[in-house]
């Protein structure tokens, strides 16, 4: 991993304006995002392994989907959703800092 698992702990909102063809950029919620007509997806990694995926709901308000995350080798983050309704996620961290988290698409 290009950063320690503790470096991704916190809340992140998708800054899709900064995405490239191969990466998705996330910033802390207090980042000065430009106005957007679409809801920003959010990710929250908690130190105790809890994970919250904020997805746009049917009325465009964020809908939290709760799971568990764990760091694996080579910058991969595995997310499982105990409800069984949502498929597991595998995220690849490209880079991270206190104000930016970059994931592979």
> What is the per-residue pLDDT across 15-53, written as a single tens digit (0 to 9) for each?
999 999 999 999 999 999 999 888 899 999 999 999 999
The distance of Cα 27 from the centroid of its chain, to the nearest Å, equals: 9
pLDDT at 105: 96
Question: Whole-structure pTM over 0.95, yes or no?
Answer: no
pLDDT value for 58 = 85
> Rounded to whole angstroms, how far apart are CA atoms 14 and 62?
12
Q: Tokens 């308000």 sit at which residue?
A: 61
When pLDDT is averaged across residues 75-84 and rounded to a whole number, the result is: 91
Question: What pLDDT score was predicted for residue 50?
Answer: 98
**Strand 100-104 versus strand 89-97 pairing type:** antiparallel
Task: Output 74 or 34, whichever has higher pLDDT.
Answer: 34
């Amino acid at each position: 991993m290009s950063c320690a698992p503790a470096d991704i702990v916190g809340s992140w909102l998708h800054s899709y304006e900064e995405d490239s063809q191969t990466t998705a950029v996330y910033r802390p919620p207090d980042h000065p995002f430009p106005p957007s007509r679409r809801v920003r997806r959010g990710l929250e990694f908690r130190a105790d392994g809890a994970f919250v995926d904020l997805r746009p709901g049917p009325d465009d308000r964020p809908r939290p989907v709760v799971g568990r995350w764990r760091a694996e080798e080579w910058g991969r983050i595995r997310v499982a959703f105990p409800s069984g309704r949502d498929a597991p996620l595998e995220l690849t961290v490209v880079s991270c800092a206190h104000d930016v988290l970059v994931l592979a698409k």
